Structure 1
Amino acid sequence: MAAPWIADNGDGTYRNPILYADWSDPDAVRVGDDFYMTASSFHRVPGLPVLHSRDLVTWSVIGHALPRLEPVEEFRTPQWGCGVWAPALRHHDGLFWIVYPDPDRGIFVVTATDPAGPWSRPWLLKGGRGLIDPCPLWDDDGSAYLVHGWAKSRAGINNKLTAHRMSPDATELLDEGRVVVDGDALPGYRTLEGPKWYRRDGWYWIFAPAGGVATGWQSVFRSRHVFGPYEDRIVLAQGDTDVNGPHQGAWVTTSKGEDWFLHFQERGPFGRIVHLQPMRWGAEGWPEIGAAGKPVPGHAKPAVADAGPGTARTAEISDLQWTWSANPELGWATPLPGGGFRMACVPGGDDLRALPNVLGRRLPADRFRATVTLGLTGASAGARAGFTVLGATYAWIGVVRTVDGDRLVHRVADEGAAEVDAAPATPVDTPVTLGVDVHPDGTCRFRAGDEPVGPPFPATGGRWVGATLGIFATGDGGTADFSDPRVTA
């Protein structure tokens, strides 16, 4: 079956985006000939996804660093826009380190010897509200540092980068910190955030975006001294391309010595999709990204060692792509032997945005068809199960059990509003095949079998996330069996 999006063109070139899905705020490292990436996960559980690649173009999910969001009790209901914001991934002293922020609690650290896990329990490095986008730096002399940004919604300030001395084991900060880059002092700068800290050729480099998610750009700052002063240069911006707000990501160098930059682009209901840009060091010693500082639509693939397995031109389908809307309970979903899930019908309200037991995955492309087969077993009247595209607004198609039998329903909800019927309920026998066609403008058309049901639905993202393609079941007992989604172009 045709995959909905393949970045590898099969001829030694690739097209952007390399990941047409909501892998927000990506950070990446190379260890040997392998590349690893993590991304913001916000309220999704498990959190802190870890992806692997051998060529920087084709990626697969290999695990998550956070099995549950903590504090566990506070994340038993969906906390849209909270949870895990932009993390940093590093490899140091034989360990993989992820330093991540919870904007309501502080900056945390997890480590692992194997990026697929298990990972340590998170520990708090710096407590406080509004601390975001942390990145550690281990220097050549064994000293360590941390830089982070600020969220105005929590801290009352932003547009500044603050740095600390840090213990080499990342268990404590050794000073009160100081502002190393003040965006308010730079003409035209706003919402400076997302710093990534590096050392190269006697310079300290901070790669940091500014200008906001949808309209921003990528800047680079450099200094001969770790705490500055830093000089700045804009190295990537939209220009006359159709890639809005290209920024916030990771500089990586291949084992062959090539430099590349991963970043995201905001695409509404599709979330923050990931692009790969060539990068080189110019005559003045500054990095040059893309084509004359503008994003490229495609390029020759990176020169890497043997790409090895895992980089075939196929869609990556894995149970590891599934996440819950909040910390789950045991028994909510059980994998079926032939693929798919048996979901327990558990009590829940009528608003899917507040339902913790929505099992979802990122939209996989800007155009695709997804289908599932659904059957209800042992459920009593009032049980319902369905297939949804969920964001600030949402729509779903599915089955409601009544005293008179099962009914096929299609319902939608505007932002802040209750569900309403988008089509008349009709009798149906289960199992039934349900589907949705998604178009590049975010319009969705739901289906029962091959028949369209209801009018087109304009999908929207959630708070800081793209829309979710999800399944759910509610009720007082019984189960709903879902096949694995069949996703095609």
Structure 2
Amino acid sequence: MVASSFTCQPGIPVLHSKDLVNWTIINYVYTTLPFDRYKQPQHGQGSWAPSIRYHNGKYYVYFCTPSEGLLMAETTNPTKKWDLHVVKNIANWEDPCPFWDEDGQAYLLHGKKGAGPAILHKMSADGRSLLDTGVLIYQNKQKQPTLEGFKFMDKRDGYYYFAAPAGGVSTGWQSVFRSKNIYGPYEDKIVLAQGKTEVNGPHQGGLVQTQTGEWWFIHFQDKGAYGRITHLQPAVCKNGWPIIGADPDGDGIGEPVLTYRKPNVGRTYPRAVPQTSDEFTQNSLGLQWQWQAEQNEAWYSLTAHSGQMRLYATPVATDTGSLVYAGNLLMQKFMAPTFQATTQMSAHLTTNGERAGLVVFGNDYTCICLQKEQGALYLTIDEAKRVNKIYQPHKQLTRIPVSTQTLWFSVRVNADATYRYTYSTDGKNYKSLGDQYKADKGFWVGAKVGVFCLNPTAQKTAGYADFDYVRVEK
């Protein structure tokens, strides 16, 4: 399974499961994007809506960046390196998905930025080039508005099928389209909608068949600060159309189920979850971590101090100190409805303005950090908000003087996305600092939590912070 990364890098996490329930992160499709502007944060840009397919012994992932074009990555082993290719330099494409027909002819289906029509191209057999300018195969703004997230399905009983959600990410539904001719005309049917459930806008899903013949549908739900969380639904075929989830009224439009038996894959596998905590004892960062921009080796070290991760006080490119513009934030998505993240940090701040700490980041952010000001050390809560799509200046909400550069920081996130920071000077006794805050979603993504060290100038300084661990608990 793969997912969008937008500005975060490494990008497009590859997750693995043997039963569609227990997942772990095994790799990323790319380390960096091949465009210079992603050396700095580009919120909302980067990799959008990837699709993954297996064909003739290779795994393929297709995705678009909204300004640069269509890209494809391929590998024979998804745990190893993926080879990344720019298929076409073009702006305003989105949501591509490949398909290889029975005669070997390759096709690519995609939309346009703003959720536009379904457009089909012929491709070379190796999937590296488009062979035509594309044909519009479906558009009906009245029946299926805001159509996006295209996913070709298997050809069955002489029909070509593709799935696509419509109606908007948080308010829409999932549809399926079929035709005897790959170029149409296509019939359409809504196969999954919110109905009377609490699962709003079931969106951008894909059908999977297990080795025992069962069909399942994986989709997401927009949960604001918690991001676009993943659901698994049972699926059956009736009269040539999938019915997904439950269909209590028998109208052929499924509703999401919140609990169900696990898929039958022939055996039972132990519980597993994507990675969260990191003790920083390995020679590489855990796969749960992403930076806000193209990774720079000068930002950090895992060998400068054994068993710790060192973050250097990297200059912020805009010379404002706002974390919005800092590529060197090391973060991961909110990983549960409620959780607590704790880190131990030993800072060595040498220059006024240097700061290091723990951050909760979205369109708005706050952080608890140690700062050096006028030669003295202060423990602070800082904040910046995004108002009318404009990022406001970074500001300090509260501060207290401290005499140590070794601190423990913790944040507790509640089920309503509110959170509170605490700190300790001995790792045992914690005190609250600041108020209760409300996490905000980011640009197309949920909120993130992580650590940082930077200085709010364009000048290189000598400060750094050693993080002993980040531990996540429920």
| 1:366–1:431 CA distance, 2 compared to 1 (3 A) | same
1:455, distance to aligned residue in structure 2 (A): 1.1
Number of the residue aligned with 1:101: 64
Partner of 1:255, secondary structure, is coil
Task: Give deviations 1:146-176, integer Å, cap 9, x for gaps.
Answer: 1001113xxxxx4310001111111222222
Partner of 1:75, secondary structure, is helix
Partner of 1:342, secondary structure, is strand
Number of the residue aligned with 1:252: 208
1:200, distance to aligned residue in structure 2 (A): 2.1
Count the aligned residue pairs.
441
Q: Is the 8 A contact 1:54 1:307 kept in 2?
A: no
Q: Is the 8 A contact 2:10 2:295 kept in 1?
A: no
474-483 or 257-266, which moves further after superposition? 474-483
Q: Is the 8 A contact 2:117 2:136 kept in 1?
A: yes
Number of the residue aligned with 2:246: 291
What is the CA–CA distance in structure 1 between the aligned matches of 2:404 and 2:376, rounded to whole Å?
9
Two-structure CA RMSD over aligned residues (Å): 1.6
| 2:116 is aligned with 1:159 | yes
2:136 to 162, 173, 179: 179
Q: Is the 8 A contact 1:346 1:477 kept in 2?
A: no
| 1:361–1:340 CA distance, 2 compared to 1 (3 A) | farther
1:340, distance to aligned residue in structure 2 (A): 4.7
1:461, distance to aligned residue in structure 2 (A): 1.3
Number of the residue aligned with 2:417: 442
Task: Give deviations 1:411-465, integer Å, cap 9, x for gaps.
Answer: 1112121122222333241311111111122111111132221111111111111
Task: Give deviations 1:113-132, integer Å, cap 9, x for gaps.
Answer: 11012111x22223321110
Partner of 2:442, secondary structure, is coil
What is the CA–CA distance in structure 1 between the aligned matches of 2:297 and 2:273, rounded to whole Å?
32
Number of the residue aligned with 1:123: 85
Partner of 2:190, secondary structure, is strand
Structure 1 gap segments, 5+ residues each? 1-36, 153-157
Q: Is the 8 A contact 1:159 1:183 kept in 2?
A: no
| 1:165–1:244 CA distance, 2 compared to 1 (3 A) | same
1:141 to 73, 83, 103: 103
2:167 to 202, 211, 214: 211
The AA in structure 2 aligned to 1:316 is: Q
Task: Give deviations 1:235-254, integer Å, cap 9, x for gaps.
Answer: 11111111111110211111
Task: Give deviations 1:358-391, integer Å, cap 9, x for gaps.
Answer: 0111111111111111111263332110100111
Number of the residue aligned with 2:472: 487
| 1:455–1:274 CA distance, 2 compared to 1 (3 A) | same
Structure 2 gap segments, 5+ residues each? 248-253, 279-285, 425-429, 456-460
Partner of 1:353, secondary structure, is helix
The AA in structure 1 aligned to 2:27 is: G
Number of the residue aligned with 1:433: 408
The AA in structure 1 aligned to 2:261 is: A
What is the CA–CA distance in structure 1 between the aligned matches of 2:349 and 2:435, rounded to whole Å?
32
What is the CA–CA distance in structure 2 between the aligned matches of 1:390 and 1:232, rounded to whole Å?
40
Number of the residue aligned with 2:427: none
Q: Is the 8 A contact 1:345 1:379 kept in 2?
A: no
What is the CA–CA distance in structure 2 between the aligned matches of 1:452 and 1:188, rounded to whole Å?
52
Number of the residue aligned with 1:189: 144
Q: Could you tell me the percent identity over the aligned residues?
A: 39
| 2:362 is aligned with 1:362 | no
What is the CA–CA distance in structure 1 between the aligned matches of 2:133 and 2:39, rounded to whole Å?
34
What is the CA–CA distance in structure 1 between the aligned matches of 2:421 and 2:82, rounded to whole Å?
39
TM-score where L is the length of structure 1: 0.87
What is the CA–CA distance in structure 2 between the aligned matches of 1:334 and 1:101, rounded to whole Å?
32
Greater RCO, CA 8 A, separation 6+: 1
The AA in structure 2 aligned to 1:39 is: A
The AA in structure 2 aligned to 1:323 is: Q
The aligned runs of 1:73-472 (5 Å cut-off) are: 73-120=36-83, 122-152=84-114, 158-184=115-141, 187-198=142-153, 199-282=155-238, 284-292=239-247, 293-308=254-269, 311-313=270-272, 316-317=275-276, 319-335=286-302, 340-348=308-316, 349-377=320-348, 379-415=350-386, 416-449=391-424, 450-472=430-452
1:339, distance to aligned residue in structure 2 (A): 5.0
The aligned runs of 1:48-87 (5 Å cut-off) are: 48-71=12-35, 73-87=36-50
What is the CA–CA distance in structure 2 between the aligned matches of 1:69 and 1:175, rounded to whole Å?
26
1:81, distance to aligned residue in structure 2 (A): 0.6
1:313, distance to aligned residue in structure 2 (A): 4.8
Q: Is the 8 A contact 2:294 2:327 kept in 1?
A: yes
Partner of 1:320, secondary structure, is coil
